[in-house]
Amino acid sequence: MTGQQLQESSELQTACSTWARQPGCTLLLLPPYKEGPLLSALDWVVEFSPDHPIVLGANSAESIVAQEVMYQLQGVQGGDHRGHTRYWKSHSSSGLFAATMLPLWSISLLNHAHLVTEFLEDLNRHTGKALAPVAKDDQSEIMLYPQDLTVMVCCYGFEVATAASLMDRLHGFAVPLLNLAHFDLPESIDRLQQGGLLNQQGLTQAGLAFLQTSKYWAFAENLKGET
């Protein structure tokens, strides 16, 4: 998701910041941004950068796109990650909300996917791990985990219904949309099917209603609009 998309929608800000508080969840904003406050709950302010920041270390995603950085992020809340990215956590075990000024979608990184993955994995180390189920479908008594809710959002946004088709769509992104190391997609798909929320055609009526009444609906709609 781009920072500008988030800045232009208070509903999306609420949905995304709530989702990012959950253990095991990492949300990273990418350029472009609008000048001004990034999120009403934080003191982060985006400014256009007249000078490109100095990046040390030749073998890194930062060094490759250093001349393409157009913004700087001001603020003291949260933590600093490599000088061009800030992250915020509600508590030590929570998920993570982050914003980077690096254009990780740049064509300059097309042949350096391993450096992008390294950057994302390094950032994701700050994220609290999901250990316990957080939701339950009352009719089936199936326990749902944060990852399952993310899979529901992706199934709706991409209009897919199987782990294989979801993997195909996710692998089409130059910048990974999800950290697949934290997801067992077949297991999540199976839980959603067992709970009556998903079938071979996609989300069921029960699944769609569940998603529409959840705090992730705005995010799901935004994802569908982009694909």
Q: What does the pLDDT look like over 91-144, one tens digit per residue?
A: 877 889 999 999 999 999 988 989 999 999 888 888 877 655 544 544 445 678
What's the pTM?
A: 0.62
SS3 132: coil
Return the domain boundaries, the chain: 3-124, 135-226
- Reading the block at residue 4, the tokens are 């500008």
Does 181 have pLDDT greater than 90? no
Q: 17 or 45: whose pLDDT is higher?
A: 45
Alpha helices in the chain (DSSP H): 3-7, 10-20, 61-65, 113-124, 146-158, 163-170, 185-194, 205-212, 217-226
Beta strand 142-144 pairing with 135-137: antiparallel
Tokens of 129: 């791990």
* Contacts for 197-201: CB closer than 8 Å, 24+ residues apart: 197/137, 197/152, 198/152, 198/155, 198/161, 199/161, 200/161, 200/162, 201/161
Q: What letter represents residue 158's amino acid?
A: F
> What is the pLDDT, as a whole number, of residue 137?
44
Dihedral over alpha carbons 132, 25, 148, 210 (to 10 degrees) = 100
Condensed to tens digits (0 to 9), the pLDDT of residues 62-89 reads 889 988 999 999 999 888 877 789 999 8
